[in-house]
Amino acid sequence: MLPRRQFLQRAAIGAAILGIPLARAEQMFSQDIPLPAPGLLSSDPDRYWAELRRQWLLASDRINLNCGSVGCTPLPILRAMIDHILFAETYREPAYPWFGYEENTRLRDLRDSLAAFLHCKRDELALVRNATEANNVVCNGLDMKPGEEVLMTDQEHPGGRCCWEQKAARFGTKISYLALPKPPASKEQIVDLFARAITPQTRIIFFSHITTVTGVILPAKEICALARSRGILTQLDGAHAIGQIPLDLHDMGCDFYASSPHKWLMSPKGTGFLYLREETLDKVKLWVNIASGEWKNYDQKAYRFSNLGTSNLSVFVGLKAALDFFNQIGPERIYARGHHLATRVRDFIAKQPQLKIVNASSDDFFGTLVSFEPAPGSGLKDLSRIAQECSARNIRIAGGGERVRIATHLFTQPTELNAFFDAVSAALR
């Protein structure tokens, strides 16, 4: 139990940060709601997931089926962040209580947990603020000769694509794009497309592990193996991957991997990481984007890229709490639940003759995101009526005109999917 003064402080800060009335914040922070007993999952799974949902502030009169653009952070993670905001200001912590300079014990513990979660080494992980920043570190830090090429897909997010566009405009780097099939037929088809798009000038392949456009999962390990066999670097934009699908970065064999745990891992907003393969970092010179005292301290390995100047340690305390929360419930269990719900969405959409699935053609190609477009020849021009029906029912979705993307997570309730199915049926009627 928190002392009353500290509790009120926390509620007030929670209210200020989360933009909710103080009375509601007081109510939320007064209840330390226990996680449902793990045994409930086998005896009464529906009750387990319904009880777990009480860990989120999600409004009961809203349905969020776009938890991929930005994640929904549960109370234990918010509490860890808010408690640290308060504690840091007491200056009792012997180490420097902010992020952006030398590594303190909290950051070291966090990097250890993150490394265990991602199957890589602590020294291969830089903490940054989001995937956009991580993507920029690689692109802007890599020397390339004019005419050398980056190969990327036509489904890249601006947070990964635009640094390359700027580099092309400044330094004459060439960009070549390959069009991804919607949906893919097989992993081999995708790998073959990459193989055929490589030229003698290709220096690096940049691609999303899970694309923002359709949520398709690309065969990362196979593409990285292809690139390595041709002496080409690989940079993955994994903004959507951590927390959505299991990750083993060493097994994947990529050189660089950027991500935003504030999406699917549900950490506080403003938490990102960049994985830099140890051997690659030893071989390829990478300049820092933001130069401060440690810019050429190569002994720091990946942490050199975390010297950004004073920034927010509390959100990274929240990232550690997010890893703990995930591990406590069980990453496999979380994936299985989200994928099961996404499969329900896929199966429902597949039965609508006016709609076409554009990513989830087989289990390999989707995790917890399902996207669809009007089926060619069906007479349906766009998906605006579906968007309108969803909006009228307070259902948040991604997209709406050309394409809709639906996200499911461990807090998604089957009844919420039923409400979405009703909205789609009404729109198509």
Ligand X SMILES: Cc1ncc(COP(=O)(O)O)c(C=O)c1O
Q: Which residues bind ligand X (CB under 6 A)?
A: 69, 130-132, 157, 159-160, 208, 212, 237, 239-240, 260
State in angstroms the smallest separation of the CB of 385 from ligand X.
25
Residue 289 main-chain phi, psi, to 5 deg:
-80, -40
Asked if residue 301 lies in contact with residue 278, where contact means CB atoms within 8 angstroms, the answer is yes
Q: Pick the closer one to ligand X by CB: 14 or 159.
A: 159
Beta-carbon contacts of residue 246 (< 8 Å; ≥ 6 apart): 331, 332, 335
Q: Pick the closer one to ligand X by CB: 10 or 167.
A: 167
Q: Pick the closer one to ligand X by CB: 135 or 202.
A: 135
State in angstroms the smallest separation of the CB of 239 from ligand X.
3
Q: Pick the closer one to ligand X by CB: 27 or 69.
A: 69
State in angstroms the smallest separation of the CB of 262 from ligand X.
6
* Residue in the structure block whose two tokens are 């920043």: 133
Asked if residue 318 lies in contact with residue 266, where contact means CB atoms within 8 angstroms, the answer is no
Run of H or E residues at 399: strand 398-399
State in angstroms the smallest separation of the CB of 163 from ligand X.
11
State in angstroms the smallest separation of the CB of 402 from ligand X.
17
Q: Pick the closer one to ligand X by CB: 157 or 396.
A: 157
Instruction: Report in angstroms the alpha-carbon separations of 298 from 283, 286, 325.
Output: 12, 10, 33
State in angstroms the smallest separation of the CB of 272 from ligand X.
6
Q: Pick the closer one to ligand X by CB: 130 or 314.
A: 130
Instruction: Report in angstroms the alpha-carbon separations of 356 from 207, 214, 347, 350, 425.
Output: 24, 12, 11, 7, 15
Q: Write out the DSSP string of 339-392.
A: HHHHHHHHHHHHT-TTEEESS-SSGGG-SSEEEEEEPTTSS---SHHHHHHHHH
The total number of residues written for the chain in this structure: 429
Structure tokens at 227: 């690139």
Q: Pick the closer one to ligand X by CB: 159 or 184.
A: 159
State in angstroms the smallest separation of the CB of 238 from ligand X.
8
